[in-house]
């Protein structure tokens, strides 16, 4: 069954809406929410991830689609039919684009479209029981195929992001150290110039002073 649904803007990972669920009927709800947010963060880095993918995590599986700068993600039991999960996401996508499509780019705060939860909950109920005639018909719909959608492990997906973070941190550290060394080099050059020309400046200063004193006396 469908456990959790979240929508986020792909460009920056900003959460847009969530299917509210207190999580009391399943363990480690907060852990999986954190994994979803980490996945959104990875997608916001512009990695070349497929527009449709399934990600295995513990006894559950994330399914997501990316359309129109928005990632629509749901977490289901592993036994829940993949085809239904993606058709559920397609229904959410169509309604969200119809109602909020023009406001996606201007959203400035997390969960700006929290009212969309009403539609999420209504649609979720339609997909919960896989034995209804409606859902059986969807499962038998040969025009909607999901066999080509890639399935990966959450550690594999998030591990790529962690490696990118490490590379980014190393790059930032090297940039900072390079600036520090450049500053030190400029200081050393300045000190060398002072040591080289200070005696000359002193001699010239003394000569000018003596000349000025001599004129005053004479």
| Residue 55 resides in a domain | yes
Structure confidence by residue, pLDDT tens digits, 41-70: 888 887 667 889 999 988 999 999 999 899
Q: What is the pLDDT of residue 19?
A: 87
Domain assignment present for 154? yes
Q: Is 96 part of any domain?
A: yes
188 is a domain residue: no
pTM for the whole thing? 0.69
pLDDT at 25: 62
Question: Which residues span the domain enclosing 146?
Answer: 2-162
- The verdict on residue 195 lying in a domain is no
User: Structure tokens of 206?
Assistant: 């003394």
| Any domain includes 204 | no
Q: How many domains does the chain have?
A: 1
Q: What is the pLDDT of residues 33-47, one digit of tens each?
A: 888 988 898 888 876
Termini Cα distance of the chain: 108
d(C-alpha 198, C-alpha 194), whole Å: 5
Residue 180 lies in a domain: no
**CA–centroid distance for 174 within its chain:** 23
Spatial distance between the Cα atoms of 154 and 72, rounded to a whole number of angstroms: 17
Per DSSP bridges, beta strands 52-57 and 150-153 are parallel
Output 148 or 63, whichever has higher pLDDT.
63
In a domain, 203, yes or no: no
Contact yes or no for 93/72 (Cβ under 8 A): yes
Domain of 118, CATH number, reads 3.30.450.50
């Amino acid at each position: 069954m469908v456990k959790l649904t979240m929508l986020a803007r792909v460009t920056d990972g900003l959460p847009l809406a969530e299917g509210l669920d207190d999580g009391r009927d399943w363990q480690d709800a907060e852990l999986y929410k954190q994994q979803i947010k980490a996945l959104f963060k990875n997608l916001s880095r512009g990695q070349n991830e497929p527009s449709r993918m399934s990600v295995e995590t513990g006894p559950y599986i994330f399914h997501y689609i990316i359309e129109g700068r928005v990632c629509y993600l749901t977490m289901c039991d592993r036994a829940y039919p993949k085809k239904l999960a993606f058709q559920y996401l397609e229904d959410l996508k169509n309604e969200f684009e119809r109602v909020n499509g023009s406001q996606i780019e201007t959203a400035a705060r997390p969960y700006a479209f929290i009212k969309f939860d009403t539609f999420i909950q209504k649609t979720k109920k339609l997909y919960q029981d896989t034995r209804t005639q409606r859902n059986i018909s969807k499962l038998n719909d040969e025009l909607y195929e999901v066999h080509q959608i890639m399935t990966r492990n959450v550690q594999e997906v998030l591990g790529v992001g962690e490696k990118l973070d490490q590379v980014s941190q190393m790059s930032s550290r090297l940039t900072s150290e390079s600036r520090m060394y450049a500053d030190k080099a400029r200081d050393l050059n300045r000190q060398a110039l002072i040591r080289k020309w200070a005696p000359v400046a002193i001699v010239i200063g003394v000569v000018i002073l003596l000349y000025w004193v001599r004129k005053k006396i004479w």
